[in-house]
Amino acid sequence: MKTRGRAFLSPLAALRLVEKGVILIGTDAHSIDPPDAEDLPAHRTLLSNGVALLEHLVLEAVDEGEYQLVALPLRFDDLDASPVRAILIRT
Protein backbone atom coordinates (compact mmCIF):
# COMPACT_ATOMS: atom_id res chain seq x y z
CA MET A 1 0.00 0.00 0.00
CA LYS A 2 1.60 3.26 -1.14
CA THR A 3 -0.20 5.83 1.01
CA ARG A 4 2.94 7.15 2.68
CA GLY A 5 2.18 10.19 4.81
CA ARG A 6 -1.58 10.30 4.16
CA ALA A 7 -3.24 8.08 6.79
CA PHE A 8 -4.43 9.50 10.10
CA LEU A 9 -6.19 8.22 13.22
CA SER A 10 -9.28 9.92 14.53
CA PRO A 11 -9.42 10.49 18.29
CA LEU A 12 -12.20 7.87 18.47
CA ALA A 13 -10.10 5.30 16.59
CA ALA A 14 -7.21 5.98 18.98
CA LEU A 15 -9.51 5.42 21.96
CA ARG A 16 -10.81 2.15 20.48
CA LEU A 17 -7.25 0.90 19.99
CA VAL A 18 -6.51 1.67 23.66
CA GLU A 19 -9.68 -0.19 24.69
CA LYS A 20 -8.57 -3.21 22.63
CA GLY A 21 -5.24 -3.33 24.46
CA VAL A 22 -2.98 -2.24 21.61
CA ILE A 23 0.53 -1.51 22.91
CA LEU A 24 2.24 -0.26 19.73
CA ILE A 25 1.18 1.42 16.51
CA GLY A 26 3.50 1.65 13.52
CA THR A 27 2.79 3.65 10.38
CA ASP A 28 4.54 4.90 7.29
CA ALA A 29 2.72 8.24 7.73
CA HIS A 30 4.63 11.24 9.06
CA SER A 31 2.18 11.47 11.96
CA ILE A 32 -0.90 9.66 13.24
CA ASP A 33 -2.61 13.07 13.54
CA PRO A 34 -3.41 15.25 10.52
CA PRO A 35 -1.08 18.23 9.93
CA ASP A 36 -3.74 20.74 11.03
CA ALA A 37 -4.34 19.03 14.41
CA GLU A 38 -2.75 21.56 16.76
CA ASP A 39 -3.52 19.67 19.97
CA LEU A 40 -2.59 16.20 18.56
CA PRO A 41 -5.60 14.33 19.99
CA ALA A 42 -4.64 10.85 18.74
CA HIS A 43 -1.09 11.25 20.08
CA ARG A 44 -2.36 12.41 23.46
CA THR A 45 -4.88 9.57 23.76
CA LEU A 46 -2.39 6.87 22.82
CA LEU A 47 0.66 8.14 24.68
CA SER A 48 -1.29 8.88 27.88
CA ASN A 49 -2.39 5.24 27.85
CA GLY A 50 1.07 3.79 27.34
CA VAL A 51 0.78 3.02 23.62
CA ALA A 52 4.11 3.38 21.81
CA LEU A 53 4.16 5.06 18.39
CA LEU A 54 6.47 4.38 15.47
CA GLU A 55 5.89 6.94 12.71
CA HIS A 56 7.47 7.51 9.32
CA LEU A 57 8.43 3.88 8.84
CA VAL A 58 9.68 2.84 5.40
CA LEU A 59 7.55 -0.23 4.64
CA GLU A 60 7.52 -0.30 0.82
CA ALA A 61 9.86 -3.29 0.49
CA VAL A 62 8.25 -5.36 3.29
CA ASP A 63 6.36 -8.41 2.07
CA GLU A 64 3.21 -9.56 3.83
CA GLY A 65 3.90 -12.00 6.62
CA GLU A 66 4.62 -12.32 10.30
CA TYR A 67 7.62 -10.52 11.76
CA GLN A 68 9.24 -9.77 15.07
CA LEU A 69 9.88 -6.04 15.45
CA VAL A 70 12.96 -4.67 17.18
CA ALA A 71 12.93 -0.86 17.57
CA LEU A 72 15.93 0.61 19.35
CA PRO A 73 15.50 4.30 20.30
CA LEU A 74 18.25 6.78 21.05
CA ARG A 75 18.15 8.05 24.61
CA PHE A 76 17.34 11.74 25.02
CA ASP A 77 16.54 12.88 28.55
CA ASP A 78 14.78 16.14 27.64
CA LEU A 79 12.71 14.98 24.66
CA ASP A 80 9.45 13.07 24.35
CA ALA A 81 10.44 11.30 21.13
CA SER A 82 13.47 9.70 19.50
CA PRO A 83 14.59 8.30 16.18
CA VAL A 84 14.76 4.50 16.22
CA ARG A 85 16.50 1.83 14.22
CA ALA A 86 13.56 -0.45 13.41
CA ILE A 87 14.36 -3.98 12.28
CA LEU A 88 11.89 -6.64 11.14
CA ILE A 89 12.82 -10.31 11.59
CA ARG A 90 10.64 -12.73 9.64
CA THR A 91 9.21 -15.42 11.93
The model's pLDDT over 2-25, given as tens digits with 9 standing for 90+, comes to: 445 467 899 999 999 999 999 999
Identify the structural domains of the chain with CATH numbers, from first to last.
11-90 (3.50.30.50)
Q: Decide if pLDDT at 50 tops 90.
A: yes
**Helix count and strand count (H, E) for the chain:** 2, 4
**3-class state of residue 72 by DSSP:** strand
Q: pLDDT above 90 covers what percent of the chain?
A: 59
Determine the pLDDT at residue 7. 77
Closest CA to 26 of 59, 53, 61: 53
Determine the pLDDT at residue 54. 93
